[in-house]
Structure 1
Amino acid sequence: MAFPILILTPLFFSLFHLFLAAFTPTDNYLLNCGADTNASFFSIRSFLGDSSRPGSAFLSADRSVSLSDPNPPPDSPALYHTARVFPGGSSPSPAFKFRVTSKGTHFIRLHFAPFKAPGFNLVSAKFGVLVNGFSVMNSFATNSVVVKEFILKIDDTLLEISFTPSKSSGFGFVNAIEVFSAPNDYIMDQGTKLVASDSAQIFGNLSSQVLEPIHRINVGGLKLTPFNDTLWRTWLVDDNYLMLKGAAKRAWTTKPPNYQNGGATRETAPDNVYMTAQEMNRDSQELQARFNISWGFPVGSKRVLHLVRLHFCDIVSPSLNQLYFNVFVNDYLAYKDVDLSTLNFHVLASPLYMDCVAESDHSGMLRISVGPSDLSNPSRANALLNGVEIMRILNPVSSKAGGGKKNVIWIVVSSVLGSLVLLSLLVLCGLCLCRRKNNKTKSSESTGWTPLRRFRGSSNSRTTEGTVSSSGYQTLRISFAEIQSGTNNFDRSLVIGVGGFGMVFKGSLKDNTKVAVKRGMPGSRQGLPEFLSEITILSKIRHRHLVSLVGYCEEQSEMILVYEYMDKGPLKSHLYGSANPPLSWKQRLKVCIGAARGLHYLHTGSSQGIIHRDIKSTNILLDDNYVAKVADFGLSRSGPVLDETHVSTGVKGSFGYLDPEYFRRQQLTDKSDVYSFGVVLFEVLCARPAVDPLLVREQVNLAEWAIEWQKKGMLDQIVDPNIADQIKPCSLKKFAETAEKCCADYGVDRPTIGDVLWNLEHVLQLQESGPLDKPEEVFGDVTGSGTARQGLYSGLNTERDNGDGTSGIINSTQVFSQLMTKDGR
């Protein structure tokens, strides 16, 4: 991630740092590239023009071009008004050379601010960057100001930085370069955990890695610019990364930190980072006393190792030994029962940091959580976090020969390979344990790629109701050539959707069957757990209201899933945000009933059942007859076995639809799907997103907002205007009650999906038959007794869509067959 150039923070935060003792690095090179004059940056550092004298002392050869911006923006720094351009065709490439007087860890910052000048348009540049022969950037291009930073250990007396155009006719450029020594022990090898499972291992040779900072976050505080930092870094706020803002509360102090020998220093992080924090919001009435604060950080790269540095300073406790908490990284326990008082030599408000190495998940995210430990006093349970740094661990590739550089390459590569081997062994051990325990233990999601097993039988039969197929994967195989032909070689004009797994294309098979083709990132195994989950589940079950798997392809390192094509697309596109005409109220009810039937079959169609884990309006698809089908089973999990109440697992799902109890306890049940479905019901009724951050605070979360109106008896005021005059009051009342109960805070208070299905059928009957004098007495409630429901079953008829465009009247036995049979439960 690039660091944007930010405006100055408020003056009272900045002035404090004017009086700090500045860090003086041994090596300190600041170059204003392409200029013959010096330029200041943030009024605190002077960059020397690299053309200030003939034959620049830093450039190895005179095969570059000095370029000036003819029309510089009036508010841009002078540092970005010039650039050094490196045209292609030069061999060897010109390089900046810096004499290293103090070997060890160094910072390298490269500033890129493209502009258009005679002969060159820097926006069109595409190039790579080598540092002592290591490729730290590849095929880089930008149309805005970007600052790239790298932290690496320099063992030579000379540091070379070269810019290599991607094409011989292309060029590279740079506006400014910073090279300076890092403080001693800025990156340490001892004690860094590799958090890849619940039992953390030690990661070695960290100081020999090349690190690229992706995020620097001042948790609970304001933006900090280089003016506020002795190492001239930029720190952003954490607001956009909090997964549940209501779980956190800002904390701050006006007293400077109590620095101790052996702890953090002002070079580790600025004072302002340690003077602000996020702590548990124990004032929230919606959360229990024990919950976690969680942040989600996108890092771009999937399944890549990162150094995670967490900053702590206890500014919330009135005295020592009152704060105990746990730290989780990617749902794994990284640090247990953290007691900052003990770690900081029994000095309150003394800063420290903790390092660990973790792998980004399949979606390119890193999640960090803090929460109270079992040692916490229940009346004072708390947790906090002051700052976060996330640095990608690069695996450099050398393009030069040389003994010294080869040794450095060997150190880096061997360390990374050693870590990967360790991870592989951990995964293999985990898989063996899972098989021996019948999948009762948690399995790692970073499983290695193995060919899919072959089974007997056929899975091509299509049934209108639920069946569990005994067939396997072999007959579901589709050749890559057929898929390639059916999508016109994955023509971008055929893209109908994009998700975390990859792009979805409209296509056709040899028999002209229309299909939707979901293609994982070519050549990558990043989405392997989702790929296997979809095939495992959909190859064994068939239901009219579940999207059918037509086949899959695993040739040529591809992961491709082929589904039946759903002409009308996702439910969401028929509610808001598209040009599709809005669905009528009756159509919406039928869609909800269809989705509930599919979800009910998932929950009850086998002894363990299946928990979908990602129910939302984009995962409910409509066919040409507007029949709803539940889709996307990549996050699905088997339900608890008979002697269990839940499945313990890391939190997965989508913001706005996520069960708060599942989020707090990391215990998954089928009631988690019920909560998500309740949000969908409100989404259907109100035609707005589950989460809309652009709205005022009380309206951001749809479920919370709708329930408030429901409690006031005024839900009709926020109903979608397109259907407001179509809904009969009795139908709206029962629908709203159903949605509200689905979204109860605790799973025990929510109905089963079977009860929800029963109530939605009831809502449709009310809509079609008109208001009743005493609907509650006649029809009971979603949590009513079985006797009350039996009374309804005996007299209820409803309309059925036969799937061929016709409809008929069927009796209660047919409607509720899944609810009333032993197999269904």
Structure 2
Amino acid sequence: MRASNAKFLIWILCALCLSSSLLSEFTPDDNFLIDCGSSSNNTVGDRLFLSDNNPNGKSLSSTSKVSTSSELDMFSSLFQTAKVFETTFLYNFKIKKQGRHWIRLYFYPFVSGNFSLSLAKFSVSAQNITLLKEFQIKSGSIIKEYSLNLTSSNLVLTFTPIVNSFAFINALEVVSVPDELIPLTVTGVEKVQNSLGNRALETVARVNMGNQTVLPDNDTLSRLWVADGPFLMHNDQVVVGKFVSNLTKVNMTGGLEIKAPRLVYGTATRLGADADTFVNVNVSWSFDVDPGYEYLIRYHFCDIIDLSLGSMIFNVYVNSWKVDHLDLGNVTSNIPGTPHVLDTIASPMDSSKFKISVGPTNFHEFSTAILNGVEIMKISDSRRSLDEPSFGLDSKKGSNVKVGLIAGLVAGLVVLAILATLVIVLSRRRRRSALVRHLKEEENLGVNGRECNYTVGSVAFLNSKFGYRYSLAAIQEATDNFSESLAIGVGGFGKVYKGMLRDNTEVAVKRGTSKSMQGLAEFQTEIEMLSQFRHRHLVSLIGYCDEQNEMIIIYEYMEKGTLKDHLYGSELPSLSWKQRLDICVGSARGLHYLHTGSTKAIIHRDVKTANILLDQNYMAKVADFGLSKIGPEFDKTHVSTAVKGSFGYLDPEYLTTQQLTEKSDVYSFGVVMFEVLCGRPVIDPSLPREKVNLIEWVMRRKDKDQLEAIVDARIIEQIKLESLKKYVETAEKCLAECGMDRPTMGNVLWNLECALQLQGDEKSRHGKESSSQADLSNHWEASVSTTQFSTGSAVDIASMSMSKVFAQMVRDDMR
């Protein structure tokens, strides 16, 4: 008995030593800890905060005892002093190692004499990323934690007071963290890969299940993990969650203390009231979040329960989405106590809550569920912001007092205002009725019994939940009053200008040319479509403006312009074959998300190279959703609608039947693929008659002696034959006459990624292989499918006169 006790004590000591070594294994290259406003250094736990030796600003000390929450008691000394700034102030840090860093900001609005920090209102930014916008804290203490990927040797934290106010900070940290802490890409709940490489994160929640707080001293990255008790949702019928602890069972390997400390994995909240009870409900936690952002959600699991019955197979949820069907034993190689981390990206959509749940599956009657910890991190948006108020709502606070005062002083004006309002309402009702009648006639489908959500002259999106409404003055300032020198494009809707917002965000501003009924319908459609989704391969909506009869949409700026401009018709450098493949893959991902990312498919209806934009890294994003349509109901196969799109890209089946499906986008994308391969326009009336239509020309040119004329001469030496074969096969399948015979965008994406893998890193086909022109020709003949393209189809222009070609193109532009 004594011998067994001695072995147990030795095992415990070894575990403690291992824990200690893991906790100390990471030493940050950058470790700036500043007690702002303090004249002396301050030790907090095992960390030393240096005094703020900057002579600028005012240094204040609290004249009363600091009151903090129990979790923040250890930081109380940091909240006793503060640095105050009445003008814009910069903290400048010299960074030794680029990469991910914590930025932690400490705030406590104490009173010092006649000075109250609760009156401060200010903004904070770093690396041109808005961390806090018009921030004000009335009471209590708070630590704001951010994770930024620093890419230079200098970090500037900017504190900017609003007019007639000031800024303050009690303490701050800038600390480097391990590169593996935040992955470069994460698969979201929509099963779409999201890039986090250059995105800033804000910690919204970091919770340790098992209802135990883990202090920064017990975390190798000095993180605070709060207890999950306050977040746990209760069920009236049964005690769903049970707190458990078993530190001795945790098997920390591979430096996993970077993701979370041993104390997190050694405690958990499990499903069921006791070890032998299994209930068919979920255990859930509720967290407050800001709508309109994406969030990185990190789940921490560790099997620390000794089960006499059952298994660790369960479902993981966020809100109504199932993140994973998790077999904890399988993912940890059935090694007891091994931690497992699950990352996903989700958006709360219209809600301001995240409901995190784990629960049993229908297939494992005696399974239980467990969660050890969870982290929720807000992801910066396309405006490089983590905290941006809605435009047009800035002055809402205090408006009741002003309105009451004005009403008391000039009561007589109220009557006049009411009369004027009645006149405007009646006028708008007449115009709105005309608009609804027009839309019914245009689509021949009515408005489905819904009230039209916009009015001529002042677009009022009554039920929308999308981005921000900008003033016309702000847009004029951003575009130098729509200077022609900033014009970067023109389309059927109007001109596009490059602009610069006040926060130095580069934007593209699309300005409608008229208030035609069709233009207004496209204006609303594009904004409503863009507001429903956000994806790395879809151009993001930043805002809109509908003042003074304007129709203006503001997008993220795409530095490299359109794919079309890089293929032909400009002096831009030619794209390599590898770049073209990457662009096709990205575009396919964007379209696949449109078709599958929501309950009903979104059909783009105008897929073409002019609507595929490239950012500074040549990453492709699909743009221009003015013609988009919501897909058919679940019991329908298509949407019946008037034919719209661009000549040369139109699906012949849609053109003849007026029945629109997702496969219409697939056809247009097949045209894009051949346009990318051949490097020439889809319709070129300047060419000889047999070459005018690209698709017909390509399908006729399968002979050996004419193959060189089909593939863009600038890339033919770069293409690996296996990659070309897969690419051409995919494009031809997209162009099948019958929509049922075409692949889905998911299948297209898979095949394009396969073509990309087959291409590999080879730069020159002829330089590394003995393939001749005959090899390429034989490949072409072998890869051509049995799909036939009738020269008498609706898209045939070979038999049309040039006047008809141009007339059709003009009609298309008018659409």
TM-score by length of 2: 0.44
When normalised by structure 1's length, the TM-score is: 0.43
- Relative to its length, the structure with more helix (as a share) is 2
